[in-house]
Structure 1
Amino acid sequence: MALKFTKLTRPNIRKLLSEGRLQEHGITFDRLTNSDGKYSVNIMVDGQRVHRVIGKESEGVTRKQAEEFIEQVRSDARKGRLNLPKGRKTILQFDQAAEMYLKRMEEEGGKDLKMKKMRLNQNLVPFFKSKPVVQIGSFDIERYKKKRLTSKVAPGTVNRDLAVLSHLFNKGIEWGWWEHRPAKIKRLQENPGRITYLTTEQIARLVEAAKQDQNPHIYPFIVIGLGTGMRRMEILSIRLEHIDLERKTIYIPNAKAGARTQPMTNELAEFLRGYIETAEPGQEWLFPAVGSKTGHTVAIERVFRRVVKNAKLDPEKVVRHTLRHTAITHLVQAGVDLPTVKRISGHKTLSMVEKYAHQNGAHIEAAMDKLQDRLKAAN
């Protein structure tokens, strides 16, 4: 039932003087000294005090949004009472759910656990704290997005946080912690920007600088990155037994989007043949590291920056992932169809590959020239 207001009405709000206040149905409106207005809510829900600043008039906030917040809180409370997982006596709080989620994901062999743990412990848990998960509403999600963006965090970074939150919601349903998703999560629109990639001349300089470097791993790391588009850890964790020189493939059991077989060029296959033939007896990894817990090299950042500098390139712009960007971009610019590029790069969707089709690329001009030639032939 809609609330009826006699005090907190539009005429009264407009007439309210500086430092004045209007209160009704748990909603408070304060007229600030700078003439701006601020809405806040202070109500009791299921024996808990909920006090929240909704926002200011200058931010586009109205009384209606305060009403919607109250309705959302009460609706979430009703769901919380109705949707308790069977056998549980209390509602699962977010910080508890996060800890249990990480433990279960580790037991199930979940992917990208390090980043999930970082995003939960550094960002999501400090924000949602001990709030019952089933009481997290869309308004809370929007508050989280606003807080992160106010901290000058890029929309893409916020979306990665939201992806972890969404996965936690989904797994909670699968594990019987709650029956329905607590809230709908809308991702932020990301600015695709421009992908940094190397020209053929820059590639030659980088490869030559890697050849001259004293580190024995950096040269093959760069050659493989440029020749396949594989991610950093996919390259560093290559097992010799997973390299098939006859089929010219590399098996990647723990790829980001799931296990896949990575194709490679004839030249790269011959390059790797030399490394395999000279490997030590019993050598397991292509990039072995005696002191590493994994048995293979896991960090190559410092060496990579040194090689980039020696190649007269900017280490702030040319990073390890630039090798992947470069390989995929040159595939697209060579006219390879996007489904094939997706198969080579291991991306989940075609939309993730489309961003590599730079609008000012020479391949675009070549395509338009082909269209022009066909139109001329038709006349």
Structure 2
Amino acid sequence: MENKINFIKANIDALPIPDSGKRYTYHDTKTAGLQIRITSTGVKTFSVYRRIKGGDPERITIGRYPDMTIEQARREAVRIAADISDGKNPAEIKRGKKAELTFSDLFAEYLERHSKPSKRTWREDESKYKTYLEKTLGRKKLSSIDRRDIALIHSSITKAGHDITANRVLALTSSIFGWGISAGLWELNPAIGIKRNKENTRDRFIQGDELPRFFEAVAKEENDAIRDYVLISLLTGARRANVLSMRWQDINFERAEWRIEETKNGTPQTVTLSQEAIEILQARKPSNHAIFVFPGSGKSGHLEEPKKGWKRILERAGIQNLRIHDLRRTLGSWQAKTGASLAIIGKSLNHKNQNTTAIYARLDLDPVRDSVNKATSAMLTAAGLKQSADAVPLKRKKGVDFGK
């Protein structure tokens, strides 16, 4: 059965399924040589059917619908027709298509040759690929991926309410293609030119009136690893990944310091530990030779994902729109409230700022420690866990016990 139709989505979707063992072929009225063939199982495949100079007609399969869009099939048909007009053999064209990398192939090269050797966050690249790109782009040949494909992915993530994630996935896709070009594996970057979502600078931190509810909700958390992880994140202002991978060997109880050998910005950091943070860590310290402060059962050996516990805490506290990273901002904000300079705050949070690098280099930990202690004291006072300037042990407040 052979017919000519205009290849539009409505027409192709409405095509009848042939009986068992049969196959229908339809020709596009707009693009010479472009066909779509339908099997009795409902599989629809684009192909190009053209006569070679001095030979018989050849059928070249180019992709399945709807994985390959109509516009992509038309462009590919035009390209193949041009190659045939130049005297190229379709068999060679087809072999070239088979040899062409898929997006999955390109990502594998990118991960092993670029991301793992040069990015501490390579696991985030791998996670984003598996979550958002593998099913949508993974099997596609690079030549079949266009700006529309990537824009649709960005749009779908955005519509799901994840504007920033959509931007990060778009940035990763662009990086993969960009690296592929620099490595001589590909020639075009279809992610260029796609408009990113507007990102407002986030200024959320735990307000004074929220602190009593927050600390009470944390105290009621039955998972002691989650509870203490949240507290240490708040009291140190350290980044999420660094707290998760915190090691006992890096903590000096005598100096009340925690040494992070490599942070996100590529520099080491010495974190000053308040008395409250020391008490929590001392209560957690095991008698055996444990490596991580917050051990986990995964491959890394430490706690990997505290989101479920974090959600429980926020629900108990009745607090909305607060992220784990906002704990870091909370310490900095309370430092500012208690009179710390921007240089002191930057030093304590290990911000990398070229304009203040020289200032940071001249600062020792004493003013930083004083600022962190003042901010901690102010937060605990606002939460009702300290009376005036006099410390009240956290475990003494009725219904609150952070030391277990």
- The two structures have a TM-score, normalised by structure 1, of 0.56
Equivalent residues of 1:207, 1:219 under 8 A apart = no
1:127 matches 2:136: yes
**Corresponding letter in the other structure for 2:293:** L
SS of 2:282 mapped into structure 1? helix
Q: Which residue does the alignment assign to 1:177?
A: 185
Contact 2:235 2:277 in 1 (8 A): no
Does the C-alpha gap of structure 1 residues 254 and 329 become closer, same or farther in structure 2, counting only changes over 3 Å? same
Structure 1 unaligned regions, length at least 5: 1-22, 27-42, 55-65, 79-87, 351-379
**Whole-angstrom distance in 1 between the partners of 2:310 and 2:102:** 43
CA offsets, 1:120-146, max 9 Å, x none?
A: 234324333544436755555445434
Aligned residue identity for 2:130: N
SS of the equivalent of 1:251 reads strand
**Do residues 258 (structure 1) and 262 (structure 2) align?**
no
Residue equivalent to 1:285: 292
Residue number in structure 2 paired with 1:97: 106
Say whether the 8 Å CA contact 1:134–1:178 is kept in structure 2: no
- Shift in CA distance, 331/144, structure 1 to aligned 2, threshold 3 Å: same
Instruction: Structure 2: state its 5+ residue gaps.
Output: 1-28, 33-47, 50-59, 84-96, 355-404
* Cα distance, 1:103–1:153 mapped onto 2, change above 3 Å: farther
Listed one character per residue, the Cα deviations across residues 66-116 of structure 1 (whole Å, up to 9, x for unaligned) are: 9xx97xx97xx99xxxxxxxxx99332223222443455676374434442
Check conservation: 1:245, 1:269, Cα contact below 8 A. no
Q: Tell me if 1:237 matches 2:245.
A: yes
Query: Hey, what's the Cα distance between the residues in 1 that align with 2:265 and 2:249?
Result: 21
| Pairing partner for 1:116 from 125, 130, 137 | 125
The one-letter amino acid of 1:169's match is F
Q: Output the TM-score relative to the length of structure 2.
A: 0.53
C-alpha offsets along residues 330-377 of structure 1, whole Å, 9 cap, x if unaligned? 345556555654554355679xxxxxxxxxxxxxxxxxxxxxxxxxxx
1:161 to 162, 165, 169: 169
- Report how far residue 265 of structure 1 moved: 4.7
Contact 1:237 1:286 in 2 (8 A): yes
Provide the C-alpha distance between the structure 1 equivalents of 2:190 and 2:337, rounded to a whole number of angstroms: 44
Give the aligned residue type for 2:101: L
Q: CA 1:117 to 1:275, structure 2 compared with 1: closer, same or farther past 3 Å?
A: same
Partner of 2:302: 296
Distance 1:306 1:140, change over 3 A: closer
Identify if the C-alpha distance between structure 1 residues 24 and 102 changes in structure 2 by more than 3 Å, giving closer, same or farther. Answer: same
**1:298 aligned counterpart, secondary structure:** coil
Q: Which amino acid aligns with 1:177?
A: L
User: How many residues of Structure 1 are paired with residues of Structure 2 in the alignment?
Assistant: 285
**Offset at residue 177 of structure 1 (A):** 2.3
Q: 8 Å contact 2:150–2:190 — kept in the other structure?
A: no
Q: Residue 226 in 1 paired to residue 234 in 2?
A: yes
Cα 1:157–1:281 shift into 2, 3 Å = closer
CA–CA distance in structure 1, aligned partners of residues 131 and 222 of structure 2: 38
Residue 301 of structure 1: how far off its partner (Å):
4.1
RMSD (Å) for aligned C-alpha atoms:
4.8
2:327 matched to which residue of 1? 323
Distance 1:104 1:216, change over 3 A: same
Q: CA deviation at 1:156?
A: 1.4
